[in-house]
Amino acid sequence: MNPGPTDDGMPTSAIAARSERQAMDWSLVLASQGIDVAIEHDPGARIWALRVPVPDLERARDAIKRFRVENRGWSWRQQVPGSELHFHWAALAWVFLLCLLHAAVGNGLGSAEFIPSAVRAGEWWRAFTATWLHADPGHLAMNAVLGAVLLGLAMGRYGGGLAGAAALLAGAAANAVAPWIRHHEYHGLGASGVVMAALGLLTAQLVAWWRHSWRATRLILGGLMAGSWLFLELGTSPQGDVLVHALGFAFGIAAGVVLALLPARWNPRLNAVGWGIAALATLVPWWFVVRG
């Protein structure tokens, strides 16, 4: 693509990108560095490019190079063939832990189930540990299969640590908030709140486009509507806990909005912090169960 002027007459140059997703990611990186950038697309030639002012060209290339180097560490993050989505294989570690805990304790560990009166009495860890327990193999299989896909895609979008921590915390928060909406006693268990939180994270991912232009609002609203339709299809079965599903989905969207709007240059460090939070959110609650 040849150089061209901006609206104020400043000469520009183009940086080629392989796909729309790459162009969008790179544009967010440049915007976070205060570099004016416009995305160009040639449908006939299937070419995507970023157009930046010539004086900022070297700085833009350096920012993109640093971004690629920083994200090269995600060796488990792979593009889904034929799409702009990425899948993070660390989601299978979550599935493995679900299956391991079910094989070890099934649904017979009463001190780990979610019981509102027990949580109100101070046993807060139940909001976390209940997300790892399942009533039977069918219940486990449903959450494991759907969760592997949704959590893997969310991890691929935000990073394994950030998405993993956000989904675990949102699922636990859904358990903790539900008793304040309904007041009867019940026993709760299952990872569906975490799974719906992963769906919420994916639903909110297009919010990142606001960092590039507020004119993307229509597209973002379309993504929110599509995610909501998927929630209605997947999360409103009468056999499930629809309230916890809805809360997990809502908290996942809220977390996704925050993560999507964070500066891209923060991702590597925040992702490492996320892994630490995810580990603590898993190990500490179970330590209280084992100790008690």
Judge whether residue 159 has pLDDT over 50.
Answer: yes
pLDDT at residue 71, as a whole number: 60
Percent of the chain whose pLDDT exceeds 90: 47
CATH code at 4-72? 3.30.70
Architecture per CATH, 86-291 = Up-down Bundle (1.20)
pLDDT at residue 4, as a whole number: 52
4-27: pLDDT as tens digits = 544 556 788 889 888 877 888 888
Domain with CATH 1.20.1540.10 in the chain: 86-291
Greater model confidence, 222 or 188: 188
pLDDT at residue 110, as a whole number: 76
Residue 1's pLDDT band (cuts 50, 70, 90): very low
Give the residue carrying structure tokens 């960092």.
211
pLDDT at residue 68, as a whole number: 75
pLDDT at residue 291, as a whole number: 87
Least confident of 195-209, 241-255, 257-271: 257-271
Residue 91's pLDDT band (cuts 50, 70, 90): very high
256-286: pLDDT as tens digits = 999 988 877 787 889 999 999 999 999 999 9
What is the longest distance spanned by two Cα atoms in the chain?
A: 71
Q: Is 153 exposed, middle or buried (0-12, 13-18, 19+ CB in 10 A)?
A: buried
- The CA–CA distances, whole Å, from 145 to 65, 164, 256 equal 36, 16, 22
In sequence order, the 6+-apart residues with CB closer than 8 A to the CB of 222 are: none
139-155: pLDDT as tens digits = 999 999 999 999 999 99
Domain with CATH 3.30.70 in the chain: 4-72
pLDDT at residue 2, as a whole number: 44
Question: What is the model's pTM?
Answer: 0.75
Range list of H helices, the chain: 20-32, 57-71, 91-105, 116-120, 126-129, 137-158, 160-181, 192-203, 217-234, 242-261, 267-291
Greater model confidence, 104 or 107: 104
pLDDT at residue 70, as a whole number: 61
pLDDT at residue 129, as a whole number: 95
71-88: pLDDT as tens digits = 655 457 777 776 667 899
Query: CB–CB of 119/164 below 8 Å?
Result: no
